[in-house]
């Protein structure tokens, strides 16, 4: 021992350290004393210690041209001062970069280059760089001073309304687009760099500074820049992985992260849910946000303005005009969310031309009304083009404008049809030349409700010739001519079609009622309409209402022989409208109208009455238009006011917000931090739930619980590391425990039993496949060895919860993790008080214990008050009155039971026969392993456990279990009817039918739509499966709304019936029927399927078309009758060797083979083969016949 020194300050002995005689405690105490900070103290964001602590005096000395006012804050990149330029009397921001000049001047060179590029950027949404340079060894930038907040502060101040996000993002996009066009990539887009002026304008700061600083491009390690700048959360994946390939799309990714954060308040880390799952926003935004967050740059938005357009489309800042409407409707079948305005632009341009042309022509020929209409539509197109080009704001106005235009568009199109009809078949057999030159004699005869009163007939000219050979007086006769009779029927038909359309429109209009769209969602699939809202439904109504009215009117005109043109138009419209009713009627009407005699009839009828058309059709149209538009406005306004799901956003309240916060815009700001629900009290008694970000929803769309890795309450995240993270940082006890590498975890809990749920999930760095993430952990002594997250989560589902029941005795719940391959990602640990071991009471005399995981420990207490508890395992059955089951991690089964009666189940037919070892009844308790049970014989032959076969689970498949037990009818008769499924029936010893069905399909709807219908009659039970239909929605909707995923619902049955059940009418289309060990009679048929019967004892009647029959008979003897028929199918009959039957089989175009010596095959000329023979005494009858298929008789095993 050295001589002990005492510290002169504290008097304590000084331990030997490299500090010599300095007392470490006192030294640290001296260090603890508050440090004199640089100007302004720490910035609002509280950043790392910045190297150059320049005093205000030093700054002032360096920048004589500036008046330094205050220090605004410090960022990773440097210190920012607010300064004034006295000459210009302008407030500027002076940023002194933390980067010190390096020796070789590389930095200065890069700085100069970048700063010059920045200074060229001149955009309202980009913070302007006024000047830059080097002073006193420090590089600096003089920038525009933005009086306001940054987005981070705004986000911290509380949740951001989606409207606001939708306003901010396009502004950022504009800035980014501009900068990208100038070849400048920001590289460090994050909320801190997005500034919001008090006026509401958004400005992006620090453009390109990241590059200047050499940050984010992999060249991190520059002197002084070791303080990390920017968080990796906002960096695009390629920025981290391949920094050299970073381009402007990295900014789009970063913006996507910001967008997601604005919408949800969280970072999109790991397997994040789409925003609409977290907050109520337009579902179309999901696609936009996810598109920006694509990992592959090539799959992202390629340009910032694409993002902008989409966001604006959704937020409703672009008026959805007529063509926009069409684009929206088209989006049903396509991927929604494409840029509507871009789509609208082209049709608008294309339509503007003919509208203008027709309008001019109509004007030219003196049809003012028609011209007005056409020119109105032309104007609408022009307005739409302007709107598309300028992204005009004012959504509601835009929509009204759009619909006005839509009205014009529809009417003008009708006008076209009428014009064209008249042009080509105007009833008087004139040619198009006549129409183009009205002075040649059109106007006196052509009568259109849309036309003005006809001009007086031009003198002379073509009129007589146009009237054809018909003498003029004939035209005045109202007597019906040949055509009339033919006209009535199609005319009435047209009117009916029109009425049908109107009825359909009315029906659809019901969806506009409250709750209607939810209903629609239910029918059409999840979120099919939500978010699209009333607009689309209204469009559908309109698209039915207008044609319906037109067809009705045209039909009426036809009936009254008033207007040939209207009749033709009605026919065309009813074809175009394309519904089951209107299509044939339209064709019929047009065929009739094309007839010469009909045209003549019209010609006579229409020439005679002086035109009475006048203005009334116009009035009618105007009234209808007003009603339609009024209806629409009411609906839109009501829904907007009520705040429904209408996607049309109002004006954002950003300005108001800014004003709210304006009193603390500079310097240190007191920002209210959004309250986080303190759900996890440290010492709270159970239940204890440990989870991260407790204020947010934790389940994703698939019902998986997601706990950590996406933002802890205090803002800390585990980010994209593959380290284990425990989802709690607020709890000091936990905080003590290790957050890196997370090896052990001890949570103080009162002693007792707990259920511990461990949530695992695949996160950012994906598990690549089976075995991708394997590790071992121990929960209070329960070891989970080689736990494979992938395998346990069921492959593609990527998240799993492992539950274990533990008993805590030392006041701490201990969990240890032992990493093996890669560090696991545990997302949360839930500790719940264990439910008391409630004995399962059952009044039936049997209970089936569900299989448990082999490597998790589970305890199950079962007792039956006045019956037996029957425990089924795969190879045995236990009967007792009270039992406790416990499975151990090593796979063994501990069973404690009283009065055990153990029966070994039958072995599969192929396995060797061993003598039955019946376990003697155990009086008190027995412990046995479920694995080494010996295979036994069929001491109780009817006991057989069934399982569902062919549970094909693919990546995005849903499934739903269906369990039901029915008492079986006295005579045990059961009928099944099944489509696209599998039926398995196995022997059972209870007088009831247990139906277990697994419904699965590609979508949830198809699973839900797959129906199992059970009719229980006194003497039989009928079970029937119904598949979901692919055609849903409206009568005409099959063209657009065909949902192919709907009809893939499949039901896999597993039905347990009494062994002696008689099964008849079992049928399956495209499905399998498997029946095992049923001794009763069986009748089954399949189409395109397979029937497998094994262990049959009773009569069989099996048939198939295009299928296969496999019948294995357990015994065959006196009185039995077996009939197997197949068309285009194969038959395989497995008969016991000691069978006793007359066998006959025949086939056309197929072969027969037999393993029995006494069954000989004879070839028959010209086709087919026959087999006739006898087994034993021939007590039973076996008949098999097939067309185009083979028959095979196989020798089964002997049956005693």
What residues make contact with another protein under the rule CB under 8 A? 1-2, 7-9, 15-33, 35-36, 42, 46-49, 53, 220-221, 226, 228, 231-232, 716-719, 721-723, 736-744, 816, 818-819, 823
- CB-nearer residue toward another protein: 222 or 583: 222
CA–CA distance, 1184 with 1102 (Å, rounded to integer)? 9
CA–CA distance, 627 with 403 (Å, rounded to integer)? 12
The closest alpha carbon to 1196, from 1125, 1096, 1063, 1122, belongs to 1096
Q: Which residues pair with 148 in a beta bridge?
A: 197
The closest alpha carbon to 629, from 400, 413, 408, belongs to 400
- CB-nearer residue toward another protein: 29 or 299: 29
Work out whether the CA dihedral 671, 176, 166, 714 comes out positive or negative: negative
CB of 716 to another protein, least distance (A): 6
The closest alpha carbon to 482, from 313, 596, 628, 642, belongs to 596
143 SS3 class: strand
CA–CA distance, 92 with 82 (Å, rounded to integer)? 6
CB of 17 to another protein, least distance (A): 5
The closest alpha carbon to 147, from 524, 592, 645, 661, belongs to 661
The closest alpha carbon to 648, from 947, 1034, 312, belongs to 312
- CB-nearer residue toward another protein: 721 or 1138: 721
What does the angle CA 275 – CA 281 – CA 282 come to, to the nearest 5 degrees?
105
CB of 10 to another protein, least distance (A): 8
CB of 788 to another protein, least distance (A): 19
The token pair that represents 419 in the structure block: 């014009």
Classify each residue of 920-934 as buried b or exposed e, where b means 16 or more C-beta atoms within 10 Å of its C-beta.
eebeeebebebeebe
- CB-nearer residue toward another protein: 780 or 1052: 780
Q: Which residues contact 257 (CB under 8 A, 6 or more apart)?
A: 190, 233, 234, 267, 268, 293
- CB-nearer residue toward another protein: 47 or 1032: 47
- CB-nearer residue toward another protein: 526 or 716: 716
- CB-nearer residue toward another protein: 74 or 982: 74
Give me the phi and psi of 1182, to 5 degrees please.
Answer: -120, 125
CB of 143 to another protein, least distance (A): 24
CB of 235 to another protein, least distance (A): 12
CB of 930 to another protein, least distance (A): 31
CA–CA distance, 603 with 123 (Å, rounded to integer)? 68
- CB-nearer residue toward another protein: 53 or 685: 53
Neighbours of 1108 (CB within 10 A): 18
CB of 30 to another protein, least distance (A): 6
Classify each residue of 489-520 as buried b or exposed e, where b means 16 or more C-beta atoms within 10 Å of its C-beta.
ebbebbbbbbebbbebbeebbebbeeebbeeb
- CB-nearer residue toward another protein: 37 or 181: 37
- CB-nearer residue toward another protein: 16 or 453: 16
CB of 253 to another protein, least distance (A): 19
What does the angle CA 1092 – CA 1097 – CA 1102 come to, to the nearest 5 degrees?
40
What's the number of CA atoms in the CB half-sphere (13 Å) around residue 662?
13
Question: CA-CA distances (angstroms) from residue 852 to 10, 873, 974, 1171?
Answer: 65, 11, 31, 50
CA–CA distance, 216 with 233 (Å, rounded to integer)? 12
Task: Identify the helix (H) or strand (E) that includes residue 505.
Answer: helix 482-509
CA–CA distance, 641 with 342 (Å, rounded to integer)? 29
Place of tokens 């087994």: 1175
Q: Which residues contact 936 (CB under 8 A, 6 or more apart)?
A: 875, 876, 903, 904, 905, 906, 907, 914, 915, 916, 917, 918
CB of 920 to another protein, least distance (A): 46
CB of 986 to another protein, least distance (A): 48
- CB-nearer residue toward another protein: 48 or 159: 48
Q: Which residues pair with 901 in a beta bridge?
A: 879
- CB-nearer residue toward another protein: 231 or 937: 231
CB of 225 to another protein, least distance (A): 10
Secondary-structure breakdown of the chain: helix, strand, coil percentages, each rounded to the nearest 5: 35, 25, 40
Q: Which residues pair with 1187 in a beta bridge?
A: 1127, 1148
Place of tokens 């996507």: 256
CB of 31 to another protein, least distance (A): 4
CB of 673 to another protein, least distance (A): 13
- CB-nearer residue toward another protein: 106 or 1016: 106
CB of 718 to another protein, least distance (A): 8
How would you class 1025 by CB atoms within 10 Å of its CB: exposed for 0-12, middle for 13-18, buried for 19 or more?
buried
How would you class 111 by CB atoms within 10 Å of its CB: exposed for 0-12, middle for 13-18, buried for 19 or more?
buried
- CB-nearer residue toward another protein: 52 or 161: 52
- CB-nearer residue toward another protein: 27 or 629: 27
CA–CA distance, 698 with 285 (Å, rounded to integer)? 20
CB of 888 to another protein, least distance (A): 23
Q: How far apart are the first and last CA of the chain?
A: 94
Question: CA-CA distances (angstroms) from residue 1073 to 1102, 1121, 1122, 1194?
Answer: 11, 20, 17, 20
Question: CA-CA distances (angstroms) from residue 1185 to 1067, 1113, 1129, 1143, 1191?
Answer: 19, 17, 10, 11, 8
CB of 56 to another protein, least distance (A): 17
- CB-nearer residue toward another protein: 11 or 473: 11
- CB-nearer residue toward another protein: 51 or 425: 51
- CB-nearer residue toward another protein: 530 or 718: 718
CB of 741 to another protein, least distance (A): 5
């Amino acid at each position: 021992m050295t001589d002990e020194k005492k510290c002169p300050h504290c008097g304590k002995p000084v331990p030997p350290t490299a500090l010599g005689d300095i007392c470490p405690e006192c030294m640290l105490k001296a260090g603890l004393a508050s440090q004199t900070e640089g100007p302004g103290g720490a910035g609002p964001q509280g950043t790392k210690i910045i190297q150059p602590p320049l005093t205000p005096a030093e700054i002032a000395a360096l920048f004589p041209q500036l008046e330094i006012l205050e220090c605004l804050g410090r960022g990773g990149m440097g210190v920012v001062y607010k300064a004034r330029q006295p000459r210009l009397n302008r407030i500027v921001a002076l940023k002194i970069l933390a980067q010190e000049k390096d020796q070789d001047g590389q930095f200065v060179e890069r700085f100069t280059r970048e700063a010059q590029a920045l200074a060229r950027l001149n955009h309202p949404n980009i913070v302007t760089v006024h000047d830059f340079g080097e002073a006193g060894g420090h590089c600096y930038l003089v920038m525009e001073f933005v009086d306001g907040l940054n987005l981070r502060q705004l986000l911290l101040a509380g949740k951001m309304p989606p409207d606001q996000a939708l306003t901010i993002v396009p502004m950022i996009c504009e800035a980014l687009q501009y900068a990208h066009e100038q070849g400048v990539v920001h590289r460090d887009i994050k909320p801190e760099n997005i500034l919001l002026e008090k006026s509401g304008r958004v400005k992006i700061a620090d453009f390109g500074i990241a590059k200047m600083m050499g940050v984010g491009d992999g060249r991190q390690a520059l002197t002084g820049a070791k303080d990390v700048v920017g968080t990796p959360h906002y960096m695009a994946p390629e920025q981290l992985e391949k920094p050299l390939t970073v381009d402007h799309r990295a900014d789009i990714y970063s913006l996507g992260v910001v967008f997601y954060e604005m919408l949800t308040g969280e970072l999109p880390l790991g397997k994040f849910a789409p925003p609409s799952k977290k907050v109520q926003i337009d579902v179309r935004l999901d696609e936009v946000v996810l598109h920006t967050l694509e990992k592959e740059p090539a799959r992202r938005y390629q340009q910032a303005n694409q993002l902008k357009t989409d966001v604006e489309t959704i937020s409703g800042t672009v008026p959805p005009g007529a063509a926009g409407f069409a684009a929206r409707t088209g989006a049903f079948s396509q991927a929604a969310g494409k840029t509507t305005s871009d789509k609208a632009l082209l049709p608008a341009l294309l339509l503007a031309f003919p509208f203008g042309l027709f309008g001019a022509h109509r004007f030219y020929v003196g049809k003012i009304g028609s011209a007005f209409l056409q020119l109105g539509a032309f104007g609408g197109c022009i307005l739409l083009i302007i709107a598309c080009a300028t992204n005009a704001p004012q959504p509601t106005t835009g929509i009204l404008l759009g619909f006005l235009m839509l009205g014009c568009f529809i009417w003008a199109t009708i006008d076209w049809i009428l014009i064209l009809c008249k042009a080509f078949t105007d009833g008087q057999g004139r040619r198009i030349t006549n129409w183009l030159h009205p002075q040649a004699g059109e106007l006196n005869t052509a009568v259109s409700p849309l036309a003005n009163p006809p001009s007086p007939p031009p003198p002379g000219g073509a009129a007589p010739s146009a009237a054809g050979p018909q003498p003029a007086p004939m035209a005045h006769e109202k007597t019906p001519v040949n055509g009339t009779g033919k006209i009535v029927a199609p005319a009435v038909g047209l009117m009916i079609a029109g009425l049908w359309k109107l009825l359909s429109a009315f029906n659809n209009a019901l969806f506009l009622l409250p709750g209607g769209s939810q209903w629609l969602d239910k029918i059409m699939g999840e979120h099919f309409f939500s978010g699209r809202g009333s607009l689309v439904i209204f469009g559908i109504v309109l698209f039915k209402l207008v044609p319906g009215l037109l067809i009705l009117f045209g039909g009426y005109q036809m009936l009254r022989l008033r207007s040939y043109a209207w009749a033709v138009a009605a026919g065309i419209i009813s074809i175009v409208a394309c519904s089951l009713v209107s299509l044939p009627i339209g064709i019929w009407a047009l065929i009739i109208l094309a007839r010469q005699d009909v045209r003549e009839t019209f010609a006579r009828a229409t020439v005679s009455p002086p035109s009475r058309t006048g203005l009334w059709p116009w009035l009618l149209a105007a009234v209808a238009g007003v009603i339609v538009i009024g209806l629409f406005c009411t609906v839109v306004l009501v829904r907007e006011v009520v705040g429904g799901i209408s996607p049309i956003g109002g004006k954002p309240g950003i300005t108001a917000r800014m004003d709210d916060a304006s009193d603390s815009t500079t310097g240190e700001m007191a920002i209210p931090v959004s309250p986080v629900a303190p759900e996890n009290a440290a010492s709270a008694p159970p239940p204890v739930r440990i989870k991260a970000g407790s204020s947010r929803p934790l389940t994703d769309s698939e019902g998986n619980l997601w706990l950590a890795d996406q933002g802890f309450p205090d803002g800390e995240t585990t980010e994209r590391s593959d380290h284990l993270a425990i989802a709690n940082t607020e709890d000091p006890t936990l905080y003590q425990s290790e957050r890196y590498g997370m090896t052990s975890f001890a949570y103080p809990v009162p002693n007792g039993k707990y259920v511990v749920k461990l949530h695992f999930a695949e996160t950012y760095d994906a598990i690549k496949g089976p075995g991708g993430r394997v590790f071992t952990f121990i929960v209070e002594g329960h070891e989970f060895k080689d736990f494979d997250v992938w395998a346990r989560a069921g492959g593609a589902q990527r998240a799993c919860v492992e539950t274990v029941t533990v008993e805590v005795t030392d006041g701490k719940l201990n969990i240890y993790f032992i990493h093996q391959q890669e560090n696991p990602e545990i997302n949360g640990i839930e500790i719940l008080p264990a439910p008391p071991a409630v004995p399962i009471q059952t009044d039936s005399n049997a209970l089936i214990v569900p299989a448990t995981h082999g490597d998790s420990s589970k305890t199950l207490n079962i007792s039956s008050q006045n019956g037996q508890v029957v425990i089924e395992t795969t190879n045995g059955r236990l009967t007792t009155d009270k039992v406790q089951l416990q499975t151990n991690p090593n796979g063994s089964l501990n069973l404690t039971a009283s009065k055990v009666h153990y029966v070994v189940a039958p072995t599969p037919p192929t396995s060797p026969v061993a003598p039955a070892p019946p376990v003697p009844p155990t009086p008190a308790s027995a412990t046995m392993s479920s694995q080494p049970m010996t295979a036994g014989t069929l001491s109780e032959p009817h006991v057989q456990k069934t399982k569902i076969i062919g549970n094909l689970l693919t990546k995005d498949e849903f499934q739903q279990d269906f369990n039901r037990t029915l008492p079986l009818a006295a005579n045990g008769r059961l009928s099944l009817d099944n489509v696209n499924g599998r039926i398995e029936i196995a022997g059972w010893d209870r007088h009831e039918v247990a139906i277990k069905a697994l419904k699965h399909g590609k979508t949830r709807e198809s699973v839900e739509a797959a129906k199992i219908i059970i009719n229980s009659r006194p003497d039989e039970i009928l079970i029937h499966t119904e598949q979901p239909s692919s055609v849903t929605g409206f009568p005409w909707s099959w063209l657009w709304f065909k949902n192919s995923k709907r009809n893939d619902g499949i039901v896999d049955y597993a039905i347990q019936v009494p062994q002696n059940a008689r099964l008849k009418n079992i049928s399956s289309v495209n499905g399998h029927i498997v029946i095992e060990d049923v001794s009763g009679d069986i009748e089954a048929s399949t189409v395109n399927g397979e029937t497998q019967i094994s262990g049959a004892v009773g009569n069989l009647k099996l048939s198939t078309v295009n299928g296969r029959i496999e019948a294995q008979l357990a015994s065959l003897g006196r009185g039995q009758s077996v009939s197997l028929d197949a068309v285009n199918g194969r038959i395989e009959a497995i008969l016991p060797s000691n069978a006793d039957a007359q066998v006959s089989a025949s086939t056309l175009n197929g072969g027969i083979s037999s393993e029995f010596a006494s069954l000989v095959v004879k070839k028959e000329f010209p086709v087919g083969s026959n087999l006739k023979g006898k087994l034993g005494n021939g007590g039973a009858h076996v008949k098999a016949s097939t067309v185009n298929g083979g028959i095979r008789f196989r020798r089964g095993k002997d049956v005693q």
